[in-house]
């Protein structure tokens, strides 16, 4: 499946179960306009539809990337800045959809990842960056703060000192520094970036999809709940997974010393 929205390219590889959303505003460094935010949501909805007619789970993972060679996403579209478009509930919709999406979403970051672009990446489950990428929150230069929770999320990941440094200075940090602080999962050499991302995504897509979805729910629950509540939730998910065909296949493959073939059932 290949479809084009106004500002997003949508692709789905039936063989691997991997969907790709490409933010397609390269001349604007893929800056977040209202249309782009809406199209990210629409693109995710198109990809999720792949499961409707499938016998099991068809969509295993989603890669979110930026078109061109300069930016993943350089932030909000300043030309369209307003109380509604720059932050607040309306602007958060695509972040929420990414966070709540059942399949893991991987931010493939090559180039600028700033402001709302960094917040978009932070909404994803994984962030993979090329070594030449740069990260930052420049909003302070406009007299505002990151409007979709960027300070909150960096604080949870890297601590308040790092979050304050990024948001108060507005300065960019390197991919290496972002990796050291845990803001990105992996940093790859520029000439190895494409192959390394493909390998990471292929490995993820080959895992049991129902277990992957449950792990995503568990990790998200841990952020917002106490330990006892989280442990009870994990036990519930565990009991549900024990009843799946994927679990039976995984156990059989282990006993037979072969690679499992998971269908998401």
Task: Quote the DSSP letter at residue 219.
Answer: H
Active site (annotated) includes residue 171:
no
Active site (annotated) includes residue 251:
no
Q: Of 76, 103, 175, 205, which residue is the catalytic one? A: 76
Q: Of 111, 115, 116, 136, which residue is the catalytic one? A: 116
Nearest-angstrom CA–CA distance, 6 and 39: 7
Largest CA distance in the chain: 62
Active site (annotated) includes residue 139:
yes
Q: Of 74, 139, 148, 214, which residue is the catalytic one? A: 139
Let me know: does 186 contact 193? Beta carbons within 8 Å. no
Give the bridge partners for 127, in sequence order: 107
User: Which two tokens mark 113?
Assistant: 């990842």
Active site (annotated) includes residue 165:
no
Tell which phi-psi region holds residue 55, choosing left (phi > 0), alpha (psi between -120 and 50) or beta: beta
What angle do the packed helices 227-242 and 245-255 form, to 10 degrees?
80
Q: Of 61, 74, 111, 119, which residue is the catalytic one? A: 119
Report the catalytic residues. Answer: 76, 116, 119, 139
């Amino acid at each position: 499946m290949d479809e084009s929205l106004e500002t997003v390219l949508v692709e789905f590889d039936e063989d691997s179960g991997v969907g790709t959303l490409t933010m397609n505003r390269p001349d604007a460094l893929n800056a977040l306009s209202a249309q782009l935010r809406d199209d990210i949501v629409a693109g995710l909805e198109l990809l999720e539809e792949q499961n409707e007619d499938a016998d099991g789970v068809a969509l295993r993972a989603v890669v979110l990337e930026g078109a061109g060679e300069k930016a993943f996403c350089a932030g909000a579209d300043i030309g369209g800045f307003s109380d509604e478009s720059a932050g607040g509930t309306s602007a958060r919709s695509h972040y929420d959809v990414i966070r709540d999406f059942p399949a893991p979403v991987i931010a493939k970051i090559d180039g600028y990842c700033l402001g709302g672009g960094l917040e978009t990446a932070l909404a994803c489950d994984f962030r993979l960056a090329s070594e030449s990428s740069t990260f930052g929150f420049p909003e302070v230069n406009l007299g505002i703060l990151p409007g979709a929770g960027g300070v909150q999320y960096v604080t949870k990941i890297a601590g308040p000192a790092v979050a304050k440094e990024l948001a108060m200075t507005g300065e960019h940090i390197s991919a290496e520094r972002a990796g050291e602080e845990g803001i990105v999962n992996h940093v790859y050499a520029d000439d190895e970036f494409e192959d390394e991302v493909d390998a990471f995504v292929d490995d993820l897509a080959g895992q049991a999809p129902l277990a992957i979805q449950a792990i995503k729910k568990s990790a998200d629950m841990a952020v917002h709940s106490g330990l006892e509540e989280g442990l009870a939730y994990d036990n519930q998910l565990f009991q549900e997974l024990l009843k799946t065909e994927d679990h039976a296949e995984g156990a059989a493959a282990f006993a037979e010393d072969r690679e499992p073939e998971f269908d998401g059932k």
